[in-house]
Amino acid sequence: MISCISCENVHEFGRVFHSQFRLRHGGFVERQQYDVSVYDGMEFDRYDTPASRYLVYHTDDGRALGVSRLTPTVLSCMLGDLWPHLVQEKSQLQSEAVWEGTRYCVDKDAAPELRQRIVHEMACAYLEFGLRLGLKKIIGLMPTYIYRSVFERPGIEMEYLGPVEAIGRHKCRAVAIPVTAQQLANVRRKTGIAHSVLRFSRDEGERRNDRAA
């Protein structure tokens, strides 16, 4: 199960919320040497705001194993602030129907089978989140090998927003996930995940578990 953490429900997921910042520290500061803010082993930047949402795959005891941050482009957009030249249609950089996905990270020490499960569920969670909020697209900048493995391989059809450009050590591209029910159906069919994976409160997850039992 993946929890969607926001300023409205963070009191239900306090331990998970802190753990996802620590997971990000390991993935982006320790492994990739990002020059970003750090506090007590937690990584954060100026896009961590009260408007942000965090999709977190975590254990029952609150350890984050996978995370992605989603933010509304109408407030601030990393892609628009730093790499607008990589997006041909600029209206997508500030739209109520478009959110930005950033800080996608999976625990490098997770077993291969679990890592695949996290990737597959995260693909579903992106689309479930977008459908719940009535979004048209979720955009972001990613290395080409990353979006192919974590989104296209599980069955999401991507929209390319501009050219490929070398950023640091990687070839990167601005991409969009069109949010449709058909996309979610395609991912569920390809990954074999037939149920909803995203919860917006602990009670929601407990109700699902009761029905499954």
Any domain includes 158: yes
> Is the residue at 169 inside a domain?
yes
User: What does each C-alpha distance from 109 to 50, 65, 78 come to in angstroms?
Assistant: 30, 9, 28
For residue 112, being part of any structural domain is answered with yes
Do the domain assignments include residue 62? yes
- Enumerate the β-bridge partners of residue 68: 55
Asked if the structure places residue 213 within a domain, the reply is: no
Give the E-state strand segments of the chain in sequence order.
2-5, 37-39, 42-44, 53-58, 64-72, 98-106, 137-143, 159-160, 165-167, 170-178, 198-199
- Average pLDDT for runs of 10 along the chain of length 213: 95 94 81 76 90 97 96 95 96 97 95 97 98 98 95 97 92 97 98 97 60 44
- The per-residue pLDDT for 30 is 63
pLDDT for 212 equals: 45
pLDDT of residue 27: 74
Is 152 a domain residue?
yes
Read off the amino acid at residue 70. Answer: L
CATH number reported for the structural domain that contains residue 200 in this entry: 3.40.630.30
User: How many domains is the chain built from?
Assistant: 1
Q: Which domain holds residue 123?
A: 2-208
Token representation of residue 24: 């990000």
**pLDDT value of position 205:** 52
